[in-house]
Amino acid sequence: MGVMIRYILMTSMFIYGGLLLFFGSAFITHAYVSYDFDQFQSDHFSHKYLKVVSHKKRLPPPPPPVLNIPIHFKSPPPSPPRPPPPTPSRLDSLPLPPV
């Protein structure tokens, strides 16, 4: 029972630490980007330009790639011709003796 409680506590602390790390880094990144953007704006950088850029049309997605059929799906080579039937021997051509 004590091992299970220790496992639950360790797991919850690990998850809490991961969430704190994830959301903390996201907040720091957002603060850094917004600070950079505020520094970038100046008098010659008009809001009209920002509006035009933000409504830019998206390009259509690229066409799907052409499928390369693997070698093992190709048709097999033609089969070799059949050998000619055996020729009858001289013994087969002789008539059978009367019984």
pLDDT tier, 2 (very low <50, low <70, confident <90, very high otherwise): confident
Q: Alpha-carbon distance 9 to 12, whole Å?
A: 5
Whole-model pTM: value is 0.23
> E strands within 2-96?
none
DSSP type of residue 44: T
Q: Alpha-carbon distance 37 to 33, whole Å?
A: 6
Residue pLDDT, tens place only, 15-73: 877 777 777 666 666 555 555 555 555 555 555 555 555 556 678 888 887 777 666 66
